[in-house]
Structure 1
Amino acid sequence: MVLPWLEQMALHYNITNVYQAFEDIEDFETCLHILLREDKNYKAYNLLYFVVPGANNQIEINNYFYSFEEVAELFEGKLQDKIVHFANTFALDIDEEDAQYFLDITGALGLSGYGFKAPVLSTALDGFYFNLCQTYHDPVALVENLFEQKYTLCKALDFRFYY
C-alpha cells in the first residue's frame, strides 16, 4: 500500500524516494547502513519517512518492540539536517525531553508524526507535508505553512513536530 503511494509522490511532486521493507532489527540496521553509506543521493534527502507500527514510544518490528532511545542510537549523528517523520501507524506521543534526546543524539533537524493512530493512513497530509518540506527548510516556517493550509487535517490527525 505504501509503495504505490510513494510512486505517486514521485510523479506528482517530483519527490525522490527510496522504499525499503525490513523483517527484523538486523534488516533495519542493514537498510540504514546501505542508505547512509552507499546511496550517493542521501545528502540530498531532507526527510526520512517511517511507516512502522508501534505503541508507547516503541516501534514494532516483527513482534519485537524497540524503544525510541534505541532507534535514536541506531541513527547516532547520522541525520544532520534531516526530518524524521512517522506515519500514523505509530503514535508519536513523547514528551519534550525525549524528543530533544532524539534530536540531540541523531542530529536531526526535526521529528514529526501524529499523536495517535488513526483508522486511515495519514498519506493525505503526509503528501502535502512532504511537498512543503521541499520548499521550507526552516522548521517554524514549514509547520506554520502546514497548519495554515491544512489546519483541520493537522488537528484531526494530531500532527506533532519537534525541533
Structure 2
Amino acid sequence: MYPDKYIYCLEGVADVTENNKSQILPSLENLALHFGITNVYKTCDCIEGLEESLSTLLYEDKSFKDYAILYLVFEGEGNKIELDDYYYTLEEIAEFFEGKLTDKIIHFTNTMRLDLDEEGAQYFLDVTGAKAVSGYNKPVPILSTVLDNPYFSLCQEYDDVVALVEELYERHYALCNTMGFVLYY
C-alpha cells in the first residue's frame, strides 16, 4: 500500500470575501469521500493571496511533505493564469515557487490551457524543483474534474510519472485524448 499523497487545491476567485460557488469543491469532496484522498481547498483573489496561501502551506503546515499535488484552478490562456484582472506567466509563477516544490506534481485544471514547449516545461521544473507539471492543452466545454479525479486516484498508486500517465491513458484514453492531457517531467 502506498502512503497517502495529499492534494492542496488553490482556486482563483473574483473576491474571497463573497460567497463563491465553486465548481471544484464538490469534486474534492468526492475525492475525500469515495477515494479517501485528503485535500485542502483555499481561494485567492490576488497575487498577494496566492503568496500568502502558499507561504502558509510551505512554512506553517506540518503536513506539507504529505502534499504531493498542488492543484491550481485558475482561469487563463496561453500558459498564463488570470488573477485580479492580471495575467501571470508560468515563468513568473515558477520564479515565485523557486525551489519550493521539490517532488510535487503541479496540476492545472482545463480552465487554463497548458501548452508548454520542451524548453518552457524544463524551465518551470528546474526553477520550482517540481517532479512534474500537468494539465490540458485542448479547449473542451466540460470541467476537467471528470479526468482529474481518476488522475489523482492513480497518483496514490504510482510514484513513477511515466507509469502513471500510461495507466491513465490505458484506462481513460478517449478523455485524455479529447481533453489533451499533458504531463511534463
TM range (shorter): over 0.9
Once the two structures are TM-superposed, the CA of residue 2 in structure 1 deviates from its matched residue by 1.2
Once the two structures are TM-superposed, the CA of residue 85 in structure 1 deviates from its matched residue by 0.4
Distance 1:8 1:123 in 2: 10
Deviations 1:33-79 (A, max 9, x none): 00111111110111111110111111100210001101001111111
Instruction: Look up the equivalent residue of 1:14 and give its one-letter code.
Output: G
Deviations 1:69-120 (A, max 9, x none): 0100111111111100000000001101000000000010001000033211
Q: Is the 8 A contact 1:78 1:107 kept in 2?
A: yes
Once the two structures are TM-superposed, the CA of residue 15 in structure 1 deviates from its matched residue by 0.9
Instruction: Look up the equivalent residue of 2:155 and give its one-letter code.
Output: C
Show the counterpart of 1:137: 159
Show the counterpart of 2:14: none
Distance 2:43 2:173 in 1: 31
TM-score, with structure 1 as normaliser: 0.98
Distance 1:128 1:105 in 2: 28
Match status 1:83 vs 2:105:
yes
Distance 1:2 1:55 in 2: 19
Show the counterpart of 1:122: 144
Q: Is the 8 A contact 1:89 1:118 kept in 2?
A: no
- The aligned length equals 163
1:99 to 114, 121, 129: 121
| Larger helix proportion of the pair | 1
Match status 1:46 vs 2:68:
yes
Instruction: Look up the equivalent residue of 1:114 and give its one-letter code.
Output: Y
Match status 1:32 vs 2:65:
no
Instruction: Look up the equivalent residue of 2:130 and give its one-letter code.
Output: A
Show the counterpart of 2:135: 113
Q: Is the 8 A contact 2:74 2:109 kept in 1?
A: yes
Q: Is the 8 A contact 1:46 1:83 kept in 2?
A: yes
TM-score, with structure 2 as normaliser: 0.86
Which secondary structure does the structure 2 equivalent of 1:137 belong to?
Answer: coil
Question: Unaligned stretches of 5+ in structure 2?
Answer: 1-22
Show the counterpart of 2:42: 20
Task: Let me know the Cα RMSD of the aligned residues.
Answer: 0.8
Once the two structures are TM-superposed, the CA of residue 144 in structure 1 deviates from its matched residue by 0.7
Which secondary structure does the structure 2 equivalent of 1:125 belong to?
Answer: helix
Question: Unaligned stretches of 5+ in structure 1?
Answer: none
| Larger strand proportion of the pair | 2
